[in-house]
Structure 1
Amino acid sequence: MVTCIFVVACLFLATISSCVALDYTVGDSDGWGLGVDLPTWKAGKGFLVGDNLVFKYVLGHTLAEVNADDYTLCTAGSSNSTYNSGYTVIPLTTPGEHFFICTVTNHCAAGMKLRIIVWESATTSPPGTSLPTPPGGSTATTPPGTSLPTPPAGGSTVPQIVYSDAPVTPLSYGVLALLFLLL
């Protein structure tokens, strides 16, 4: 009886933890600025629809969400909005690739740009995107002529969801399955 209650409680907690939207402060305490190592910051993070990107930056910088071509060229031609308030929250409402740049002259070229991949959920992949195997084991289809992004650090091909800068791995699901089998 106690084991059944424990397993039900674990399943309940796992369900709740997988439904919580997360706020990611871009660049952590360094914020959105020149000299911030954004590729290292985003490594291992699993961005999901419903999460938010929080951009904190000093006045004089800007933020624009752009398309892939404008990201590569460091232009804001495709941007619907450019923000310059010093604090901007971008809700991640659609799966796929998202691109952000600073539109101040030469800032994007100096590395003030961010490309992320947003997943629909922890078990599905964004449409039209080449992705590593997501949590839960479903496999994304790779369109011809495309390549997979670099897997997260540590050799794992499963993105991790990060809360308060502490990674949470899919290992808990394996532990829950093992507990269930032990019943």
Structure 2
Amino acid sequence: MASSIIFMTLALVAASVPASVMGTDFMVGDDKGWTLNFDYQAWAEGKQFYVGDKLVFMYAEGVHNVLKVNGTGFQQCAAPAGTVALTTGNDVIPLETPGRKWYICGVGNHCAVRNMKFAITVLPKTASPAPVPVPTAPEVSAAGGSVVPRYYALITAVVSVIAMVIV
């Protein structure tokens, strides 16, 4: 009984962690994946990529690959000597540093003619959210009702469950 209460408590706490803290997995090209004749620049436009996020390249193994290149390699659709191609068809690239990143397909003319390339800017990891203050007395809104901070009820429930388990 106590172990299931602890498990439920941990599940509640994990569910309350904002997604921005854990990072986002971006399926490159969404449901189209990494394929020919897709506008990856348009796909990336409007998205914000942060350190801690991951790019996931899905494609038929043996048909394409993924090469991380520099700006010149991107413009010329050519990888520098020694660049290792990702070829599994389910390639995951963690975004570990901020800055500009460039990716191309190195198979045949897939980059130069078939548009299999894109560039993104990775932003520094956002600061952790400030802890939610626990008020000593409820505040009153203009409508006369009580204003409770977003996580106050969750924090109270977790503390109560932990207290019951300890006692």
TM-score (norm: length of structure 2)? 0.62
Which has more helix, going by share of residues?
A: 2
Give how far 1:122 is off: 3.9
Give how far 1:78 is off: 5.4
Please identify the structure whose Cα radius of gyration is greater.
Answer: 2
User: What residue number does 1:96 align with?
Assistant: 99
1:117 aligns with one of 116, 121, 143:
121
**In structure 2, C-alpha distance between the alignment counterparts of 1:43 and 1:118, rounded to whole Å:** 13
Structure 1, unpaired ranges of 5+: 1-12, 124-179
**Between Structure 1 and Structure 2, how many residues are aligned?**
115
User: What residue number does 1:9 align with?
Assistant: none
User: What residue number does 1:25 align with?
Assistant: 27
**In structure 2, C-alpha distance between the alignment counterparts of 1:122 and 1:78, rounded to whole Å:** 34
SS in 2 for 1:111: coil
Residues 66 and 103 of structure 2 are in contact (CA less than 8 Å); yes or no, is this contact kept in structure 1? yes
Q: Which runs of 4+ in 1 moved over 2 A?
A: 15-18
AA paired with 1:115?
A: A
TM-score (norm: length of structure 1)? 0.57
Structure 2, unpaired ranges of 5+: 1-15, 128-138, 142-146, 148-167
Residues 75 and 103 of structure 1 are in contact (CA less than 8 Å); yes or no, is this contact kept in structure 2? yes
Give how far 1:114 is off: 1.1
C-alpha RMSD over aligned residues = 2.3
**In structure 2, C-alpha distance between the alignment counterparts of 1:93 and 1:121, rounded to whole Å:** 9
**In structure 2, C-alpha distance between the alignment counterparts of 1:122 and 1:107, rounded to whole Å:** 35
Identical aligned residues as a percent: 39
SS in 1 for 2:79: coil
Change (3 A) 1:35 1:67: same
Give how far 1:79 is off: 5.7
Give how far 1:83 is off: 1.2
1:72 aligns with one of 75, 78, 83:
75
SS in 2 for 1:41: helix
Please give the per-residue CA displacement for 1:56-104, whole angstroms capped at 9, x wherever unaligned. 0123111100111111100011563201111100000010000000001
Give how far 1:18 is off: 3.0
Which structure is richer in relative contact order (CA contacts within 8 A, separation 6 or more)? 2
User: What residue number does 2:84 align with?
Assistant: 81
